[in-house]
Structure 1
């Protein structure tokens, strides 16, 4: 049996690398392999308040509204139609109910070696859950006949709440 990576490191755990992750969009069948996820953040506004009869000249700081930036997903051009259908439904010029879905981003801890399948690879994950997400921007790939790079598309998602369950 192989030694645990923690045994040779005196019980200290190694930080997770940012290269092993997956993105799951609820209610969207199929898959899209993402090469980059950026923009996971939350900011709490600060409200400065001072009563007129306060002895201190410094205001009291009170937490205000929580704001979330948009996230950007970059992915290689794929023929998978389910994810593209969701994008099309969100950015189409026909106005109706824009489909909102929860998006789960998982940072995967692969404990040594390449796993056989993704299911066996996940021994511990760091999860970010974005609730009621929808596509607010789509950017097609840059096309250039002089390069052999992968055609990368990107989508920007707006969401209502960031949940960090573990």
Structure 2
């Protein structure tokens, strides 16, 4: 391998930062960041082609799932859920930013999820037979849309 400065390597997926509103939180995994364009199928009434035409339809975003280890005295995730579930703060929507970092810990991509709100919270699964597994909290967010930004 040459040490040519123009050679690039794919980014790793294990180095990332997550901000929920202004608060940076550490997570093990971020799953489900996905966008899909629906397909509308139709047939013109006077078309000589006996088949369906297709065109792009509505844009749909999946929900994201964030997972992290449980720490004593850390109730940030349950407080986010309680704001909606208990306090009924339905308008309390946040911007979530996911930063993908390079080997120098510099931001290379940012996914900005707009108008996100928590839809599910799982404190942890428990198993008396697991020897050394850590407790993992999980939460799911729905959001309006996301934008991708290159660099930081």
- TM over 0.5, yes or no? yes
Q: Which region of structure 1 is more displaced relative to structure 2, 75-84 or 12-21?
A: 75-84
CA distance in 1, matches of 2:109, 2:31: 15
1:20 aligns with 2:15: yes
Task: Figure out how many residues of one structure are paired with residues of the other and give that number.
Answer: 148
Q: Which has the higher helix share?
A: 1
Q: CA deviation at 1:77?
A: 1.1
Q: How does 1:1-166 map to 2 (within 5 A)?
A: 8=3, 11-27=6-22, 29=23, 31-78=24-71, 79-92=73-86, 94-111=87-104, 121-122=105-106, 124-146=107-129, 147-166=131-150
CA distance in 2, matches of 1:149, 1:39: 24
Structure 2 gaps of 5+ residues are: none
Partner SS state of residue 48, structure 1: strand
Structure 1 gaps of 5+ residues are: 1-5, 112-120
What's the TM-score once normalised by structure 2's chain length? 0.85
CA distance in 1, matches of 2:82, 2:2: 49
Residues 77, 139 of structure 2: 8 Å contact kept: no
Q: CA deviation at 1:53?
A: 0.7
CA RMSD of aligned residues (A): 2.2
What's the TM-score once normalised by structure 1's chain length? 0.78
Distance 1:149 1:24, change over 3 A: same
CA distance in 2, matches of 1:165, 1:32: 20
Residues 32, 83 of structure 1: 8 Å contact kept: no
